[in-house]
Amino acid sequence: MARGAGGPAGAAGRGGALPPEGQVGRRPPGARRRRRGQRQRGRGVRRRRRRDGRGGAGHRGGGGVRARRRAGRARPDRGRRALHLGRVRWHGPPEDHLGSPAVNSTEHDTGSPRSSLWYAAAAFVFAVGMAGTTLPTPLYGLYRQELGFGELMVTVVFAVYAVGVIAALLVAGDYSDKLGRRPLLFAALGLSAASAVCFLLEGGLPLLFAGRLLSGFAAGLFSGAATAAVLELAPGGSRGFAATAANMGGLGCGPLLAGVLAQYAPRPLVLPFVAHLALLAIGFVLTLVLPETVRRPRPRPGLRPRGMAVPREVRPVFVPAGLACFTGFAVFGLFTAVSPGFMSETLHLTNLAASGAVVFSVFCASLLGQAAAGRVRVALALPLGCLGLVAGMAQVGGSLLASSLPLLVTGAVTGGVGQGLAFRSALAAVSVRAPEEHRGGTISALFVVAYLGISLPVVGVGALSTGLGLRNAGLVFAGCVVALASVVGVHLWRTRDSDVTGAPEGSG
């Protein structure tokens, strides 16, 4: 009532005419504009609150900021929203495909018990898949006796694996980002099962070559899809180490399992692969229940190989880092292909379980070295890794001269730690120095160099063994590794304070 009576009186007092009938009591135009602006500002504030997660429990994304603060995560400047389980979570800017989730991946709540089970399942699948690649290691001596070929053919059969890995990485390395993690995991499990069947059929050299090639294809697919799945499902504070542990743990458990079964169970060339097929079946079931972490799978990726590029500004880092990786993976190749022959011919130890345990120790030591590399500056970790390779291979050479098993085991552990330090720090140095537009191609080139190291030198050992004998061929190999690692290590030590290896601390 007061509002209706005051309107005409105010208008008449200012010399204005009375408003027409039906408009008595309306606010003047200026007041209406002010009120409209207030309402618009209020709606904008509410929209911002809903967007930032401050709109209360009833709003979409409610509590998001508080949840992020409790988890100790700040929202990145260039974030992307992804709806998951009714909450809005933010993804940071895209990073390279190594050590980080893929660009179009969905972040899961890694603190819940269910997510811990998903992580354990993904890690199991990864470990089982990688175990198949080293499963034949203690059995090469048995194949050599049964099929009648020499050490050179053993190394060639082993090296075919690297061809499959490189081909899979170059052609399908990013397929899991496009098709999703689970389809690639299923494909890798199928290839690994086909590889085991080839070994089970015992059809001579052609099936051995086919089995190793399929094993390489499977390893290449696992390296991309399983690594990404473990990274995305692992607890936030241990993602990088979780993927490394699953990878190296599987590689080490393969020869240990095969050696124990071949030594103490019947059918030494059959039972290890039957056991692996059973583990693959469990992995297949677990993959069925794993959540898909890629939000928008894209069908039908092309079969065009991914390009490799090493820009000019990265070469001062890439060359010593690549040589360190080449040397470290050559040590891996020596132990996974030739060490059972060393133990039987030079040390006169025919226990297959012991052969598998020695190879297992190399991969466990590499895992420790990679864990230590994350706590040391890259400029220091790289020369330290080369020093470990020098010391380890010197001990291996001494074990061949003295026919000493303890010295061989010590050399395996020392060389494994050196390989882990060198590989992770080299990868970190190259990743940091490579331009963003060439980072993927540069890292792919580094992996190609590494897998050439795991294959070519070992074939050289096999070729030398035909004329010099396995002991002398091993001594030549150890001397070459010591010389190369020494040259690279000295260069890296002299340039440790320059921009060549000056990656940030802990970037590995």
Residues 382, 387, 390, 395, Cα dihedral to 10°:
-130
| 110 secondary structure, DSSP code | T
C-alpha span between 258 and 138 (Å, rounded): 7
Written as one letter, the residue type at 256 is: L
Contact 68, 76 (CB under 8 A): no
Q: What is the pTM of this model?
A: 0.73
Q: Which two tokens stand for residue 189?
A: 């499990």
Three-point CA angle 98, 64, 92, nearest 5°: 25
Which residue matches tokens 């004329």?
467
For the chain, the residue count is 508
Decide which of 1.10.3720.10, 1.10.10.10, 2.40.160.20, 1.20.1250.20 is the CATH code for 309-508. Answer: 1.20.1250.20
C-alpha span between 131 and 37 (Å, rounded): 67
Contact 388, 418 (CB under 8 A): yes
DSSP string, 262-314: HHHSS-TTTHHHHHHHHHHHHHHHHHHHSPP-BSS--S----PPPP----GGG
C-alpha span between 166 and 456 (Å, rounded): 13
Contact 250, 131 (CB under 8 A): yes
3-class SS shares of the chain: helix, strand, coil, % to 5: 75, 0, 25
- Domain ranges for the chain: 109-292, 309-508
Closest residue by Cα to residue 310 from 149, 118, 446: 446
The CATH architecture to which 109-292 belongs is Up-down Bundle (1.20)
Which residue matches tokens 């290590």?
489
Exposed/middle/buried for residue 75 (C-beta within 10 Å: 0-12, 13-18, 19+): middle
pLDDT tens across the length of the chain (508 residues): 444 444 434 444 444 444 444 444 555 556 666 666 666 666 665 666 555 544 444 444 444 444 444 444 444 333 333 323 233 232 333 333 333 333 344 445 545 556 678 888 999 999 999 999 999 999 998 998 888 888 899 999 999 999 999 888 888 776 777 778 888 899 999 999 999 999 999 778 999 999 999 999 999 888 878 888 888 887 765 666 777 888 899 999 999 999 999 999 999 999 999 999 999 999 999 999 888 877 766 666 666 666 567 888 888 899 999 999 999 999 999 999 998 888 988 888 889 999 999 999 999 999 999 888 878 888 889 999 999 999 999 999 999 999 999 999 999 999 999 999 999 888 888 888 888 777 777 877 888 899 999 999 999 999 999 889 999 999 999 999 999 999 999 998 988 766 555 444 444 4
Phi-psi region of 95 (alpha: psi -120 to 50; beta: other; left: phi over 0): beta
